Amino acid sequence: MTEQKSLLAVFSDLEPAADAIEQLRTLGVGDDCMNVISGVPVTEAMLGRPNQWTNVPRLALGGSLIGLLTGIFLAFLSPNMYQIQVGGQGFVPGPPSVVVIFEMTMLGMLLSTFLGVFLDSTFPNYRPMHYVPEVSDGKIAILIECVHVEEKKLTDALEKLGAESVQEAEAQHL
């Protein structure tokens, strides 16, 4: 049984890193075997990679629906639970009810979005991770973790495309 190889290529700019990802695909390395490590936000479209799938929009919609129901309860049902007559006014005033419903909807959506992003990013992570200090200085690293990797062939291709260094990666505690 072959063991999994881990290579870490460091690039100084985004353009050579995008070219390297394209070249790795032609060499047979799948997108699930590549991971881009960057100190600055880099979208998938910048590197020509497929979009990540996330549950955050669904969680935000669910949180807003829960907030809407809570706002409706507070605006319409709770005044009818304790009926107090005040100068001939209705039990449910219109404009304040709209404000309460809106604010509760937004509160539900914000809380569920925060929770969704927190859980989706698997933060905090206490297991050993692959990392190079050059990433903090603005460099971009590509981590290749595959079983069927020909190390010499990939190293030569990455160095030809402008990689500053290509080395075996070792997971370490951060």
pLDDT confidence of 1, banded at 50, 70, 90?
very low
DSSP type of residue 73: I
pLDDT above 80 for 50: no
Reported as a pLDDT band with limits 50, 70 and 90, residue 172 is low
Tokens 């190079």 locate to 132
Q: Of 135, 156, 137, 154, nearest to 146 (Cα)?
A: 154
Q: Where residue 94 falls among pLDDT bands split at 50, 70, 90?
A: confident
Angle among Cα 130, 135, 138 to the nearest 5 degrees reads 165
The sign one gets for the Cα dihedral 143, 39, 130, 59 is negative
Arithmetic mean of pLDDT over the chain: 82
